[in-house]
Structure 1
Amino acid sequence: MQILQFLSYFLIVSQFFHFSHADVGTAAQYSPPYLPTACYGDDQSQFPSSNLFAAAGDGIWDNGASCGRQYLVRCISASQPGTCAPDQTIQVKIVDYAPTALSSSSAQSATIVLSETAFGAVANIAVDSINIEFQHFFDSSCRV
């Protein structure tokens, strides 16, 4: 009987919480000019005031469905020791598609190409790319 109670409790609780996991990939950076973007054209309001935004690589582009998505990103390793900013996780908004971005990426085939500000927030040393852990951020205050 205790197993049934536990399962019932688990099913009720799981409806209120979204269990997710992080993926790993690579991040590069790109520099201005950032406009126009594949997601929002020349609209300046697309950029968060924090300047923490990114262009999606092929792996997360999803035929444009990634436009506006928010990701939590943290550096986990790089070719040079000490590159990653310790315990630093940032939230970025996807505003562009990396292969067609006006400014070229510092490394080809990156999962996410971060703005200069975003890349500098997670990496202490200027390198072409870093290894990252990232996950789609769901804002529980937004309901559709």
Structure 2
Amino acid sequence: MEIHTFILVGIIASFVLAASAIPGIATFYTNYASSACYGNQNNGVMIAAASDAIWNGGAACGKFYTVQCTGDRNAIPHPCKAGGVTVKIVDHCPGCPSTLDLSREAFSKIADPVAGIINIDYR
């Protein structure tokens, strides 16, 4: 009985997490020398710049998002890799065509960089 309850709780939690994901678009950048949130402070390479939709006047600085590739946006077939990546918002990407502009390293964890732009879910 306890095992069945544990499995049921796990299944429900999976549905809740999937339902809370927000669809978006990701691109990548390669110059991490300075950021709108932290200036010249090194924040590693699992970082991202927030689009205007997420930026919120800088309130996004320091927030973490888990990002997963969900599909292609151009002619590159099957760019996605299994799994997700967690990134820290360190910069603003005003006028970006994407929701999140990931570091190249973060983008490479979830998709083939040749794709350049992908569909994502983030939370």
Could you tell me the TM-score, scaled by structure 2's length?
0.78
Residues 104 and 113 of structure 2 are in contact (CA less than 8 Å); yes or no, is this contact kept in structure 1?
Answer: no
RMSD: 1.9
Matched residue of 1:55: which SS?
Answer: strand
Deviations along 1:41-90, whole A, 9 cap, x unmatched? Answer: 1112xx14xx211000111111100000000000000032220002x111
Unaligned runs of 5+ in 1: 1-17, 101-107, 136-144
Counterpart among 52, 59, 64 of residue 70 in structure 1: 64
| 2:94 counterpart SS class | helix
Unaligned runs of at least 5 residues, structure 2: 1-15
Alignment of 1:113-124 (within 5 A): 113-124=101-112
Residues 88-137 of structure 1 show CA distances to partners (whole Å, capped at 9, x for unaligned) of: 1110000000129xxxxxxx4210000010010000251221000000xx
**Partner SS for 1:126:** helix
Higher helix share: 2
Q: Give percent identity, aligned residues only.
A: 37
Stretches of 4+ aligned residues off by more than 3 angstroms: none
Q: 1:125–1:53: structure 2 CA closer, same or farther, 3 Å change rule?
A: closer
Alignment size in residue pairs:
105
Q: Which has the higher Rg, Structure 1 or Structure 2?
A: 1
Contact 2:28 2:116 in 1 (8 A): yes
Match of 1:126 in 2: 114
Amino acid across the alignment from 1:71: Y
Cα distance in 2, alignment partners of residues 68 and 125 from structure 1: 25
